[in-house]
Homo-oligomer: A and B are copies of this chain.
Amino acid sequence: MGPARRARNSTGDGSPGVQCSNCHLRPSCLPAGLSPEELEQVDSRLVSWRRKVARGEALFRAGDRFDTVFAVWSGFFKTVISSTQGCEQVTGFRMAGEVIGLDGIETGRHRVDAVALENSQVCVVPFSELEALEREVPSLQRQFHKIMSQRIACGYDVMFLLGSMYAEERVAAFLLELTRRLQTRGFSASRLVLRMSRVELGSFLGLTLETVSRTLTKFQANGLLVVQQKQIQIADPAGLRQLIDRAQLPGSRQQLHEAHASTGSIAPSSG
């Protein structure tokens, strides 16, 4: 509200120097792939500061006015969509380098709640300024489009998970996807800490907490994982992968069309 809110390159606390050029998250964030000159433009032109969000607090809530996007700098978030009746569904988890708030562009209002699952910090990026800078820095424009595109494609993956997989496959796919993302950020591929509760994980996977719990227990019994509450050790990643691939063989679930006429000579009339 005050002048501090618009101060160039300062954190919410007034400390200076939120610069993309210095940030180790750059390769996976908004200014990925920019040249040094372009980075300098971003540093000087794009008003950006940091905001702290304590564990359990909301970065924003559905219905809040949208005018900024946020880049997670540290910590971990969930996004949650709620029905008018109070039923909730976790739509995703966001970690460092990932952008939050893109769903608000269309209507100018956020469509989901974004809640920190641990003490977190985000870079605050005013959207209109981002758009203005995009018009001058094509590679920033391209990167922003890529990020939105990835979010769309990622949604398709979740739809596939929710629409076509069994409980075990969903949990396996989730763990592999999460470790993949952690790995690109320099974390171990075999050890991870689940920042979300079983309820939240179940909500995201379209399962109850009991089913999530049972599945993790079963994976441990089968030697795929070592589970200690929120600490997970991936003992057999190939086994998890296999579980997903195996499950998707024909017959497991529905086929939309049986691959007809792969031979060729008989021309498919097709309608």
A202: chain B residues at CB < 8 Å are: 254
Task: Output the least CB separation between A133 and chain B (Å).
Answer: 11
CB-nearest residue of chain B to A144: B145
Given A87-B250, A103-B149, A152-B103, A271 and B54 contact (CB-CB distance below 8 Å): yes
Is A219 part of the contact surface with B, judged by Cβ < 8 Å?
Answer: no
Interface contact A153-B254, CB-CB below 8 Å: no
CB-nearest residue of chain B to A202: B254
A253: chain B residues at CB < 8 Å are: 87
A:78-102 near B, CB below 8 Å: 79-81, 83-91, 102
Q: How many copies of this chain sit in the oligomeric assembly?
A: 2
Is A131 part of the contact surface with B, judged by Cβ < 8 Å?
Answer: yes
Q: Which of B55, B104, B142 contacts A131 (CB 8 A)?
A: B142
Q: Which of B104, B156, B200 contacts A91 (CB 8 A)?
A: B156
A199 and B88 CA atoms in complex are apart in Å by: 28
CB-nearest residue of chain B to A148: B148
Binding site for B on A (CB under 8 A): 54-57, 79-81, 83-91, 102-107, 111-112, 131, 134-136, 138, 141-142, 145-153, 155-160, 162-164, 199-200, 202-206, 208-209, 244-245, 248-250, 252-256, 259, 268, 270-271
